């Protein structure tokens, strides 16, 4: 039975535990003692519907590398990653329309794999950069070690080849945080492109033209169904974070000093990380802000303590006209009419 981890614990899907286990077994190594050394119940940790605390999982990789005696263990591990490895997300990727659509699904829904980081995609010239950002603990130690992200990035490359049925679909460049290994040949054979080690973040670079490559079994309707399943799972996985942020917005909004940077600071994270976390949960700062404004607008108009002009500024609008316009979209009537209706039914 999966342990009830404390709220806020950052975790990885049990599927990743199973992938680790399979890789070790194929190397003739019993994985069970290694899992137990880091205080993980083996059967629990490889169950697909469980979540493994990253603070424990990160200690498993050095044990696996030492047991195999293979410096490039992470590349071997990445070879075990398939489209079906990640539940509904994997199925959505398998039936995505194009490579670009598949990569964007990774970006939006990476929290189902692990919520100890997030993915950013950017476009420069003719190239796309698929970058992994890993969270750190209070001691500034990565929650996900180099080996975990090496395996993930190679797994992404393998999956893009799998879903297009094109073994020659290669990135044009790879950046890894890991220091230069003694033998980089396994990395080069896996990625089949130039690799830069010792970089600040792990990243894949693809030609934008390759993002238009069609997926062999594309089915947009089926992909959207799996998107909904994935989004529902992520929402249920970590509702506390979104609830806490919404509470902060409700508290700060009337003070007139609300911003992404201010909220991020209160939550002890960068604004970039905050926006990445919200993206993982299929929401945004603006969506939560609009929700809070709507709730407070209804609350303020329920009494006569504030004029409509005062309410406009309390909710962070530059002028009354802007507030009235948005309010009408929310409630299909003006603030004045809304107040009159409440009074009539009061």
Q: Tell me the C-alpha distance between 75 and 190, whole Å.
A: 7
Give me the pLDDT at residue 346, please.
Answer: 55
Cβ distance 163 to 152 under 8 Å?
no
Residue 3 has pLDDT above 50, yes or no: no
Q: Which pLDDT does position 141 carry in this prediction?
A: 86
Quote the pTM value: 0.71
pLDDT of residue 9: 65
pLDDT tens profile 104-138 = 999 999 888 998 888 999 998 999 999 999 988 77
The predicted structure's pLDDT at residue 10: 81
Q: What average pLDDT does this structure show over 176-196?
A: 96
Share of the chain above pLDDT 90, in %: 57
- CATH dotted code for 238-344: 1.10.10.60
Residue 221: pLDDT over 80: yes
- Tell whether the torsion through CA atoms of 151, 152, 155 and 156 is positive or negative: negative
State mean pLDDT over 52-73.
Answer: 92
**Res 263: pLDDT:** 82
For position 234, what pLDDT does the model report? 79
Pair 85, 19: CB distance under 8 Å: yes
Give the whole-number percent of the chain exceeding pLDDT 70: 94
What's the pLDDT at 4?
40
Whether the Cβ atoms of residue 31 and residue 24 lie closer than 8 Å to each other: yes
Report the pLDDT value the prediction gives residue 111, as an integer from 0 to 100. Answer: 86
Q: Six-digit token pair at 2?
A: 């999966």
The 8-class DSSP code of residue 114 comes to B
Comma-separated ranges of CATH 1.10.10.60 domains in the chain: 238-344
Determine whether domain 11-230 maps to CATH 3.40.50.2300: no
């Amino acid at each position: 039975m999966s342990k009830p981890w404390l709220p806020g614990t950052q975790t990885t899907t049990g599927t990743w535990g199973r992938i680790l286990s399979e890789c070790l077994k194929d190397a003739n190594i019993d994985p069970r003692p290694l899992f137990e050394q880091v205080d993980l119940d083996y059967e629990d940790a490889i169950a697909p519907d469980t979540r493994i605390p990253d603070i424990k999982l990160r200690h498993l990789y050095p044990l696996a590398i030492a047991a195999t005696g293979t410096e490039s263990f992470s590349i071997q591990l990445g070879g075990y990653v398939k489209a079906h490895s990640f539940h509904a997300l994997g199925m959505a990727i398998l039936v995505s329309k194009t490579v670009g659509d598949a990569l964007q699904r990774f970006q939006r829904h990476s929290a189902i794999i692990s919520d100890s980081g997030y993915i950013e995609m950017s476009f420069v010239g003719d190239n796309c950069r698929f970058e992994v950002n890993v969270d750190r603990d209070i001691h500034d130690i990565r929650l996900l070690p180099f080996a975990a992200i090496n395996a993930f990035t190679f797994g992404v490359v393998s999956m893009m080849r799998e879903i297009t049925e094109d073994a020659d679909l290669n990135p044009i460049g790879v950046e890894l945080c890991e220091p230069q290994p003694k033998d980089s040949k396994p990395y080069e054979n896996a990625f089949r492109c130039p690799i830069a080690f010792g970089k600040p973040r792990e990243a894949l670079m693809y030609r934008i033209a390759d993002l238009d490559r069609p997926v062999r079994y594309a089915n947009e309707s089926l992909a959207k169904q799996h998107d909904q399943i994935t989004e529902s799972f992520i929402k249920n996985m970590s509702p506390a974070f979104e609830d806490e942020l919404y509470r902060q917005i409700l508290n700060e909004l009337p003070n007139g000093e609300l911003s992404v940077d201010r909220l991020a600071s209160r939550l002890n994270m960068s604004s970039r990380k905050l926006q990445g976390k919200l993206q993982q949960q299929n929401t945004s700062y603006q969506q939560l802000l609009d929700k809070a404004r709507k709730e407070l607008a209804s609350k303020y108009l329920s009494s006569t303590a504030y004029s409509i002009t005062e309410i406009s500024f309390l909710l962070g609008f530059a002028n009354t006209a802007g507030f009235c316009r948005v309010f009408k979209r929310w409630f299909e009537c003006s603030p004045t009419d809304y107040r009159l209706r409440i009074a009539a039914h009061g």
